[in-house]
Amino acid sequence: MIITIITFIIVFGILVLVHEYGHYFFAKRAGILVREFSIGMGPKIWWKRKNGTTYTIRILPLGGYVRLAGADDEDQDELKPGTPLTIQLNDRHEVTSINASDKTTLFQGIPLQLVDCDLEDELWIKGYVNGDESEVKLYHVNHDAMIIERDGTEVQIAPRDVQFQSASLPARMMTNFAGAMNNFILSLVVFVILGFTLAGVPTNSNQLGKVNDNSVAAKAGLASGDRITKVNDTKISDWTDLSTSISSHPGKQVTITYQRDGKSRQTKLTPKAIERNHQKVGQIGIMEETATSFAARINFGWQQFVQAGTLIFSVLGHMVTHGFSLNDLGGPVAIYAGTSQATALGVNGVLNFLALLSINLGIVNLLPIPALDGGKLLLNIIEAIIRRPIPEKAEGIVTMIGFLILLTLMILVTWNDIQRYFIR
């Protein structure tokens, strides 16, 4: 269990880190201020500030986020009139730090009861100093000033020129898309790495690799290197065709047409009937041809990536056409259960699981659902079509509705996963 938990944290952490780094990297390139880059949720256990970004690790290793200036984080540091603050000034009497938290103090800070402020456009703050309500003092705020929020998190203020909406539409679209893109890249890289960890990678050809001794195939005269071209009248072009044809004839005689030394030959055999996943399938004791070349390993990684993506799209399509069940979805509990199974298969099992999860996360995040990256991209596309920004209020309402739907769905999926995997 300990190994499973550690593996789960590492796998989940890699997925989140790679996804959020995509948003972070392209936001930085576009001149958008990344106020915070967090791994995990809940109370922070470590933080460091560098180049305008506060990097945090939080106690719950489930998820993570980047806070982009002007994008969904306005309420977190909203300062209301009457709020007691402490401010710190530089040599030019500009405010460089604003402390709204009672969890920390500022060295030589000036106590201020807030009257009003503008931290986006004109950059000023005014209030009563040291409780003296006879005079309102006005201070200019430095463009790169820091604010310590109520929970003690120190982030940079968000002037208008570095906010998300100030970037060009293509830059914002790329920033929204980059998280999923990074997950696709991670999946492909891991599948390729997996190809190099195997002794040999399957070629998906119709040529036989190993033929087991005393197997149905061996007794019928088949040998390693034979190329199967037909099963009965069905043409065989690759291993998928061959395995499907053999599996579908348990206990039934078939005619195998194959090539050896450039000559076409035939033999008859009867696949042995075995039970797999509560169904009878045919088996003749052959193994797929494998290759060890560099190109073959790279191609294996690409083929696995394509097959995984195709499978996910087919599942999503089935959910749309036939209706979905909660059993078709999985949350952190299902990922933990899958991690346990993958861990039992060793390093290769974990790598395969990581690659599958990564492409899954990328595709799901691009679904046109409000609050997901795909929903944000849809709003970007609408903005491009109507050639004007979508009103912030309307965008906020749509995003909030999507968030509430996702939150409800996540709760239902999590409870369903608990019942499926832990309640017998």
Residue 424 clears pLDDT 60, i.e. is over it? no
Is 35 a member of any domain? Answer: no
Could you tell me if 153 and 189 lie in one domain? no
Could you tell me if 328 and 189 lie in one domain? yes
Could you tell me if 214 and 99 lie in one domain? no
Tell me the pLDDT band of 9, cut-offs 50, 70 and 90: confident
Determine which helix (DSSP H) or strand (DSSP E) holds 10, and give its type and residue range: helix 2-29
Q: Look up residue 99 and give its DSSP letter.
A: E
Is 9 a member of any domain? Answer: yes
Query: Which pLDDT value is given to residue 73?
Result: 54
Cα distance between residue 67 and residue 37, in whole Å: 7
Question: What are the pLDDT digits (tens) for 81-98?
Answer: 999 999 999 999 999 999
Q: What is the mean pLDDT of residues 242-271?
A: 95
Residue 74 clears pLDDT 60, i.e. is over it? no
Query: Which pLDDT value is given to residue 230?
Result: 95
Query: Which pLDDT value is given to residue 41?
Result: 87
Location of structure tokens 């206990």: 251
Which amino acid makes up residue 203?
T
Query: Which pLDDT value is given to residue 209?
Result: 92
Residue 263 clears pLDDT 90, i.e. is over it? yes
Query: Which pLDDT value is given to residue 326?
Result: 66
Could you tell me if 275 and 297 lie in one domain? no
Cα distance between residue 222 and residue 203, in whole Å: 19
- DSSP letters spanning 298-315: HHHHHHHHHHHHHHHHHH
Among 10-14, 17-21, 56-60, 102-106, the range scoring the smallest mean pLDDT is: 102-106
Question: What are the pLDDT digits (tens) for 205-221?
Answer: 999 999 999 999 999 99
Could you tell me if 313 and 176 lie in one domain? yes
Could you tell me if 411 and 329 lie in one domain? yes
Which amino acid makes up residue 198?
L
Is 51 a member of any domain? Answer: no
Could you tell me if 212 and 82 lie in one domain? no
Q: Is 102 helix (H, G, I), strand (E, B) or coil?
A: coil
Determine which helix (DSSP H) or strand (DSSP E) holds 351, and give its type and residue range: helix 347-365
Could you tell me if 98 and 132 lie in one domain? yes
The answer to whether 17 and 359 are in contact (CB under 8 A) is no
- Ramachandran bin of 414, using left for φ above 0, alpha for ψ from -120 to 50, beta for the remaining angles: alpha
The answer to whether 209 and 217 are in contact (CB under 8 A) is no
Sign of CA dihedral 357, 375, 175, 75: negative
Average pLDDT, the chain: 89
Measure Cα distances from 381 to 22, 148, 176, 306, 368 in Å: 20, 36, 12, 27, 11
- Model confidence, pTM: 0.82
Of the candidates 342, 297, 299, 296, which has an alpha carbon nearest to the alpha carbon of residue 195?
Answer: 297
Is 42 a member of any domain? Answer: no
- Would you please indicate which residues are annotated as catalytic (active-site) residues? 20
Could you tell me if 150 and 87 lie in one domain? yes
Is 40 a member of any domain? Answer: no
Q: What percent of the chain has pLDDT over 90?
A: 61
Could you tell me if 191 and 316 lie in one domain? yes
Q: How many Å separate Cα 389 from the centre of its chain? A: 28
Query: Which pLDDT value is given to residue 337?
Result: 77
Could you tell me if 135 and 284 lie in one domain? no
Q: How many domains does the chain have?
A: 3
Q: Look up residue 160 and give its DSSP letter.
A: G
Could you tell me if 418 and 334 lie in one domain? yes
Is 392 a member of any domain? Answer: yes
Is 68 a member of any domain? Answer: no
Measure Cα distances from 410 to 190, 202, 415, 416 in Å: 27, 38, 9, 10
List the CATH number of the domain containing 262. 2.30.42.10
Give me the domain span that covers residue 260: 204-288
Cα distance between residue 70 and residue 407, in whole Å: 23
